[in-house]
Structure 1
Amino acid sequence: MRIISGIYRGRPLIAPKGDTTRPTADRTREALFSMLVSRLGSFEGLRVLDLFAGSGALGLEALSRGAASCTFVEQDGDAISALKTNIVKMMGDDSRPNSFSRAPSRILPQVTLSTTASEESEAKPIPPTRPKTEIRAQSVMALGPAAVPYDLILLDPPYESGAGIVALERLLRLGWIAPGALASVETMKKETVTVEGYDVEVERVHGKAKITLLRAR
């Protein structure tokens, strides 16, 4: 895997160990972001929410293209380890975690990362503002009310689980989704994505996968 476009174009990414997560293929990710660019025009200043984040490839791609921040939500330990590595591989050594807070009981620690591009990384230009990343090491369904809403929501839930639909409806009620926000959901091509509170903008099939873009009302 690699970053497709933007300031960190070409940076390699690693996939989580094991088979509990399913990274979005580069070609599918490229198709998704082409769909998003045609509707957004620019990612500059966007607040991005990457749900069922896995390796973080979707959220990191958005950051590379100019998004102001991304919150990654993932509960699998191997995926979280890969995500932390990918943040450093993309943004440089000075983007390592600088603060930790431990969640109670069996929930993995919640990690907040403030990241900046490395001045020495392959002579890449430095973003004019410092992109911020946050890792929520917990289930998407365990998220509470949001402090501020998000502009772009990227979901790659387990196939045929219905988890993406449930998450979008729940997070809309909890204030995570800004009015007019775009959401993308990857599913198997035979699945239908209909979510209360959202309008379907477009559906595209890529191999065995289908991408559905929705607009929050």
Structure 2
Amino acid sequence: MRIPKAAHTAQPWRIHELTRDFRIEDVWSLRAPGAGPDDFPVMLDALKVSYDTRKEPAATRFLMGVRWKLGALLGWDRSQKGLGGRVASLRDRLPSELARTAHDITPCTDPFVEVYQLDDEAARELANKTVHAIMHLGWVGTVDGGFELRMAALVKPNGRFGRVYMAFIAPFRYLLIYPPLIRQWERAWQDRADLLAKRDPSDGTS
């Protein structure tokens, strides 16, 4: 479910001090039935295994395939256009206690790079010719005693070209990217025991 941007800014996340020059593009949430305050790492691991092992919906695969092919054709995703090339990584801004957390994070095969991970929030990033983007994930208690995952997309478009690009893809994000992504994440939480067993066959717990 898409939620107001204030739902992100109202939380005392560490990410705020690191991204004052980024804008909040979108904020989404999903409930995690049965979750407790210590289940944020479980959720993150389930999401990563889900990404590595499950296929996205056909429309999403097609759209992303077009994006990556177009990027390859036009050179949008070359290393010199990305982190450490066109832009500095957010990791360069981290205080030492946050920087240390990145060393123990379980990797994933998606395009994002880990920045940091705490008990209730984590940040990942990517950069190319169009934008420098941060995916922030936070673990939030709800009024009924449950927990939900909140995902905020923070972006810094690359000049006019980046702003036009972000405006052009906005309808696709809202219709074909975020809704199926959130549904996939909901299924990942529901199936977390089976997913995590795929990563570590000796551990079938949730």
TM-score, reference length from structure 1: 0.30
Answer with 1 or 2: which has the greater Rg: 2
- Higher helix fraction (1 or 2): 2
TM-score, reference length from structure 2: 0.32
- Higher strand fraction (1 or 2): 1
